[in-house]
Amino acid sequence: MRTRAVARERRFRASEFTIEALVRVLGFSTIAFVLLIFLFLLREGVPAFFEVPVANLFSTRWYPTFGLFGTLPLILGSVIVTVAAILIALPLGVATAVFVREVAPGWAREILKPLIEVLAGIPSVVLGFFGMTVVAPIVRQSLGAPTGLTAFTGALLLAYMSLPTIISVAEDALDSVPRSYRDAGLAMGATRWQTIWRVTVPAAGSGIVTAVMLGMGRAIGETMAVMMVTGNAARMPLDLAALLRPVRTMTATIAAEMGEVARGSVHYHALFGIGIVLFLLTFLINLTVARAILRRRRRGGLR
């Protein structure tokens, strides 16, 4: 009797050990893959920083077939499109999450949630084509831009694409706020509105920041839709009016030019150099958010 129990115990330990080891290996392999990809990026991209003078690399003209490798318009192009997209998506996304979680009656929630998930499933090429043929003319006619293929059009599409991510993550964050918080708020005489905006949403703050971050990650890395609607003109977006002018993002540049570039040429290395910049930029965004969340946790706030 006892020996059988010991044997079972041993068997359990053994299987647990294998499963644990497997999970650990898989977990570490993810990190290993990221590291390998980064190493590959470095190997292909770093030569650009030696082959092209720094002054050229940070000039304002990108014209690789003529030896001009100014990456500034591309970096600023990506930044302006992403920031504008998040500024549009943040209020919309958070408001939708609050409505779905806090305000909508049960039956409406049951309809809305799957509909929002469906949004995430639309391929970006389809959205890009829709943007090119429908959104772009509207932007041109209503905002008086010379062409509808602008940074703003791209931002609109990106905002739309990052909405599902923002809504579902923000909704989960609101969901994890304990019921007692809401009850306490209401018991102290606060209205429903006050409870939502002064208690529930701030308590879910770090989760909402995570939601926005994930949305931003989706936006900055998006290629196809952006390439189709932003016009891809490598001009410097320096003022607010630049929102209504074409821009060329880093992702669109890599996608458009990588196909035809000669392997190992300066242009090839420069494109991977842009890849490194893109990688560092997303890394930086993730790092700041991770720090913000960590600090909040230390202060004893909620998840």
Partner 1 sequence: MENMKARAVLVLLALALAGCGAGRAVREAKRAERAALSIQNTGSDTLVNLALAWAEAYMRLHPDVRISVTGGGSGTGIASLLNGTIQIANASREMSKEEIEAARAKGFEPRKLVVALDAIAVVANPSNPVDALTLQQISDIYTGNLARWSGVGGEDRPIVLLSRESNSGTYVYFLEQVLRLGDRKSTALFSSETLLMPSSEGISVEVRQNPNALGYDGLGYVTSDQKLLAVARSAGSPAVLPSAATVSDETYPVSRPLFMYTAGEPTGAVRAYLDWIVGEGQALVKGLGFVPLVKDR
Applying CB under 8 A, the residues found at the interface with partner 1 are 61-66, 73, 132-133, 136-137, 140, 146-149, 227-228, 231-236, 245-246, 248, 255-257, 259-261
Distance in Å, CB of 49 to partner 1, minimum = 22
Residue number, 191 or 265, with CB nearest to partner 1: 265
CB 86 → partner 1: shortest distance, Å? 25
d(CA 138, CA 179) in angstroms, rounded, equals: 44
Residue 254 C-beta: closest distance to partner 1, Å:
12
Cα 15 to chain centroid distance, Å, stands at 39
Token readout for 70 is 């100014």
- 31 vs 260, which CB is nearer to partner 1? 260
Least distance to partner 1, CB of residue 143, Å = 13
**Bridge partners, 68 (sequence order):** 63
Taking the least distance from each CB to partner 1, the nearer of 62 and 152 is: 62
Question: Which CB sits closer to partner 1, 137 or 178?
Answer: 137
Residue with smaller CB distance to partner 1, 148 or 273: 148
Judged by beta carbon, residue 147 or residue 286, the one nearer partner 1 is: 147
Burial of 128 (0-12, 13-18, 19+ CB in 10 A): buried
- Strand 68-69 relative to strand 62-63: parallel, antiparallel, unpaired? antiparallel
Under DSSP, is residue 30 helix (H, G, I), strand (E, B) or coil?
A: helix
Instruction: Tell me phi and psi for residue 63, to 5 degrees.
Output: -145, 70
Structure tokens, 179: 């019921």
Question: 102: closest CA among 90, 94, 92, 111?
Answer: 94
133 residue type, one letter? T
Least CB distance to partner 1 at residue 260 (A): 3
* Closest CA relative to residue 246, chosen from 152, 178, 165, 139: 152
Shortest distance (Å) from residue 277 CB to partner 1: 19
